Amino acid sequence: MPTPPAFSNAQKAKRDFGARLGEIRKTAGLTARALASSCGWHESKVSRIENGKTSPSADDIRLWAAQCDASDQIGDLVASLEAIEGMFVQWRRMERGGLRRAHESVMPLWQRTRRFRTYSPWLIPGAVQTESYTRALLRGTAARRGLPDDVEDAVRVRNERLKLLHQKDRTFAVLVEEAVLRNVMGDTDIMAGQLGYLLTVSELPSVSLGVLPLGADRTAMPPVEDFWIFDDAQVNVELISGYLTITQPGEVAMYADAFARLFKIAVVGAPARRLIASAIEALQ
């Protein structure tokens, strides 16, 4: 599986930050060995940081800058480090307090967003899930990751998001691959209820639902990773290993462009509803 562009960008940001620290060291006239010695580190630590192979701590940054007579840059360097670390969060870090807390942590983002755009190649997106579908997904997640059983609490938090669908000042553009309609989550009854709910919410004025049909020409835009765009301010990407947050305007624009290209391939309205109805029939 190719590395997602967003993850590559997170890695690049880490390398660029290391190169910046290297320039500070060189400007101070210090060798890597001299800096490591003055900091009380093994020499290889400086090399690993500068090459983006090791992430420095905030304390490492403060010591580095102080030894390089660059204490005036500490605030900016620490802020940059925090931004880079926030780009990619492993699931075990995000969910160590349980699924409920993980879902609560993103509620402020949902509450302040007015325009939602989401694409999924494998699951029904959270904003248009039924309670039963959500429960099945979260139980599977908790089992795979060995998490505490707070699924019911997490489901209640997720249900708060569903209220946003009925607020007139928000819009939801939802794109799914047709295969999503065929991937059974929970059991056939849960899946049939979920697909029926999709038919219902697709009629809401706040929701635009598109399905990318199997067999469509994907030359212009192949399937990509699951992502959410919140207004034009932030993109979240879900990976097997973790959760990416993207706020750099150029990268957000890349995902907006990808969404627009995917939307051109999708069918909406009656053709989309026919695909959903066909998936329901296949469950019987």
pLDDT, one tens digit per residue, over 131-167 is: 999 889 888 877 876 777 777 888 888 888 788 888 8
Residue 20 has pLDDT above 70, yes or no: yes
Q: Where does 88-130 have alpha helices with state H?
A: 91-94, 99-105, 107-112
In terms of CATH architecture, what is 5-87?
Orthogonal Bundle (1.10)
Rounded CA gap, 184 and 123, in Å? Answer: 9
At 103, the pLDDT band (50, 70, 90 cuts) reads low
pLDDT of residue 246: 82
pLDDT of residue 9: 58
pLDDT of residue 3: 45
Q: Poorest-confidence range of 135-139, 148-152, 254-258, 270-274?
A: 148-152
Contacts of 38 (CB under 8 A, 6+ apart): 30, 67
pLDDT of residue 167: 86
Determine the length of the chain.
284
Q: What angle do CA 204, 208, 212 make, to 5 degrees?
A: 135
Are 106 and 157 in contact by the 8 Å Cβ rule? The answer is no
Q: Poorest-confidence range of 8-17, 219-228, 255-264?
A: 8-17
Q: Any idea where the domains of the chain sit in the sequence?
A: 5-87, 95-283
What is the dihedral sign for C-alpha 14, 16, 22, 27?
Answer: negative
Are 90 and 239 in contact by the 8 Å Cβ rule? The answer is no
Percent of the chain with pLDDT over 70: 87
* Average model confidence (pLDDT) across the chain: 86
Are 191 and 185 in contact by the 8 Å Cβ rule? The answer is yes
| Strands 207-212 and 267-268, bridge-based pairing | antiparallel
95-283: CATH class = alpha beta
> What pairs with residue 207 in β-bridges?
172
- Structure token pair of residue 278: 């066909």
Rounded CA gap, 218 and 179, in Å? Answer: 14
Residue 7 has pLDDT above 60, yes or no: no
pLDDT of residue 250: 81
Tell how many helices (H) and how many strands (E) occur in the chain.
14, 8
- Structure token pair of residue 203: 């009629």
pLDDT of residue 102: 66
Compute the radius of gyration of the chain from its Cα atoms. 23
pLDDT of residue 160: 81
Residue 6 carries which DSSP code?
A: H
